[in-house]
Structure 1
Amino acid sequence: MPPPSPSNSPHRPLAAIGLRLVAVICLSVMFVTVRLADARGVHVVESLFYRQALALPVVFAWIATTTGAGSIRTRRIGVHATRMVIGMTGMLLNFLSYILLLPAEAVTIGFTMPIFGTLLSALILREATGIHRWSAVLIGFLGVIVMVRPDAGHFPAIGVAVALSAAFVTACVSLVLRELGRTESAGVIVFWFTLLSLPPLGAAMLFHGQAHDAATWGLLLLIGLSGGIAQICMTAALRRAPVSVVLPMDYSSIVWTTLLGWAIWGNWPMATTWIGAALIVGSGLYIAWREHVRAPPAPSA
């Protein structure tokens, strides 16, 4: 049986917002746990492998109990493979950004993804981009400059470069997802991304896999489970409300990530980080609002 289309799903905005918040909290936990695992000698390849391997049964069980196991069939395996390659590159860069930077800094720079998405849409898809969105792009990059303060040397340059690269690659993923979303449900996309990533990651584990103590295995388990739950909650949220309703919840991750960083390492962002974050978040929300306003109205039933 094919998965229900969003138009046939019940519109429950409060439930959608709650699910998206759970997803964002789980992602914050996952990224902070990656940093903790790195401090215990876990190679980033191991974190990636267990993130995918442990999430796969969670994702498949969810699909099997909702739309049915048969819904994972696809005729676009090549596009799924392309999405996997780009997506794994983005995940690797995101993991590294949380290892190289403090959590609040990494998550804030990650908010530049909609800015890169606007640039890519204009340059690659030739979408019309007016003065409003170009202004938001400039304000967002100004926020990065204010936060990083290149003259002050507060942030390692390699960490900033990796975090910006992660945001750029994630924006590239959004273009591929836009194409896949024409024919594939969100659950199918998540399943094939997870499954197709395991063979290359398994091969890399031959060189980077290690034995660990019980506490470290617990961290790896947390990485996988929190990542899988986040994917499920994100997908479930979009079944109950449109993107424009749930997207603002993503920016709450700076709150959860900052609190976790403060509780675990005693790190609190500088004033310039908060100012830069406000500019970046504001630009991202404005871009999302403009896309919502400019979207063609849904056909009436």
Structure 2
Amino acid sequence: MPLRHDIRRGALLMLGATALFTIMSALIKGLSENIHFVETMFFRSAFALPVMFVIAARGRNWGLLRTRRFPAHIVRAFTGTMAQGCSFYALTVLPLAEQTALTYTTPLFVTLLSIPFLGEKVGIHRWSAVLLGFAGIMVIALGDGAFQGSGPNQVVAIGMAVAVAQGVWSAATTLLVRSLSATESSATIVLWQSLLMTAFTLVALPFFWTTPTFFELFLLVLVGLIGGVAQIMLTEAYASAQVSALGPYSYTSILWSVAIGWVVFSDAPGWSTLGGAALIVASGLYILHREIRRARQRRKE
């Protein structure tokens, strides 16, 4: 079992997970020229399963599939599938750095959704952080010209809207995971996520199937394997250290996405993308800071 509160181990696992997730996104973007994103979603979920089963077999823990909250897992897998679909579609039309920056909107929507679903009170500090994050979204959108003219710009605008919608679905998923984690282990949640998301995308697969070449098939399988390993690393990271300590490391994916986008896709990020990303990251970090303060206050009460 990993040591609790091992910040060094948790940070290294988080850095590795974010790097792998960014590499996976780059592969998805490269495949999108010939392979529909729904087909890629199926391979992403299906070939993450072997990684999960290897982990279960190594620990001889087949009880991971045992659950008393199967309906909740279905809802969580549905929101996760919608988030993944939005993310994968956005990758087909947006530069890697922009898509990555817009995924950072999840903490903003977690804050907003916690009001109706968890009954939380959001003070002026967190509201200010949310507004700062939305300002970052507008900086990226306006700087890219998504709301100017017609034609290709409309595609960019739709891509950005879908990328922001991914933040909403991811926030819903986060809240559901919080609820599930009260009675289910992280490994059980991840395993059921992969199984059910594979089933959901399998149903849609015949409508979007394109027979891949051998090289494309290799890349599709690689997407799933990388995603599975990254998911396990992320889970292990959170098992090693507190979320509050690891939060800042998750934002290193913007550095990976800028570097990979520049080298592989020749997408040099503009100042609007970098500036908007900085605002969104700053808002996310401030929300994290407020969450830490609120947690400390609750422990003192």
Q: Distance in 2 between matches of 1:198 and 1:152?
A: 36
Q: Which of 131, 152, 159 in structure 1 is aligned with 2:145?
A: 152
Instruction: Give the CA deviation at 1:10.
Output: 3.0
Q: Distance in 2 between matches of 1:212 and 1:118?
A: 41
Q: Which of 50, 73, 81 in structure 2 is aligned with 1:88?
A: 81
CA distances 1:115-164 after superposition (whole Å, capped 9, x unpaired): 11111112332201111101101111111111211793476110111001
For residues 199-218 of structure 1, what are the structure 2 equivalents within 5 Å? 199-218=199-218
CA distances 1:22-54 after superposition (whole Å, capped 9, x unpaired): 110111011111111111x11112101110110
Show the counterpart of 1:105.
98
Task: Verify the 8 A CA contact 2:143 2:272 in the aligned structure 1.
Answer: no
CA RMSD of aligned residues (A): 2.0
Instruction: Give the CA deviation at 1:209.
Output: 2.5
TM-score, normalised by the number of residues in structure 1: 0.92
User: How many percent identity over aligned positions?
Assistant: 38
Residue type at the aligned position of 2:71: G
Instruction: Give the CA deviation at 1:9.
Output: 4.3
Q: Distance in 2 between matches of 1:245 and 1:109?
A: 22
Residue type at the aligned position of 1:223: V
For residues 253-264 of structure 1, what are the structure 2 equivalents within 5 Å? 253-264=253-264
CA distances 1:61-106 after superposition (whole Å, capped 9, x unpaired): 1133247122331111110011111110110001111111111001
Instruction: Give the CA deviation at 1:55.
Output: 0.3
Task: Verify the 8 A CA contact 2:143 2:273 in the aligned structure 1.
Answer: no
Q: Distance in 2 between matches of 1:151 and 1:282?
A: 20
CA distances 1:246-268 after superposition (whole Å, capped 9, x unpaired): 12111110111111111111111
**Aligned: 1:137 with 2:130:** yes
Gaps of 5+ in 1: none
Q: Distance in 1 between matches of 2:235 and 2:57?
A: 14
SS of alignment partner, residue 251 of structure 2: helix
Residue type at the aligned position of 1:13: I
For residues 141-220 of structure 1, what are the structure 2 equivalents within 5 Å? 141-149=134-142, 152-153=145-146, 156-220=156-220
Q: Distance in 1 between matches of 2:254 and 2:59?
A: 31
SS of alignment partner, residue 194 of structure 1: helix
Show the counterpart of 1:25.
19
Q: Distance in 1 between matches of 2:198 and 2:218?
A: 20
Task: Verify the 8 A CA contact 2:141 2:157 in the aligned structure 1.
Answer: no
**Aligned: 1:231 with 2:231:** yes
TM-score, normalised by the number of residues in structure 2: 0.92
Residue type at the aligned position of 2:14: R
**Aligned: 1:295 with 2:289:** no
Q: Distance in 1 between matches of 2:185 and 2:225?
A: 22
For residues 70-89 of structure 1, what are the structure 2 equivalents within 5 Å? 70-89=63-82
Show the counterpart of 1:58.
51
Aligned length: 293
Show the counterpart of 2:240.
240
**Aligned: 1:44 with 2:37:** yes
Show the counterpart of 1:34.
28
Residue type at the aligned position of 1:75: R
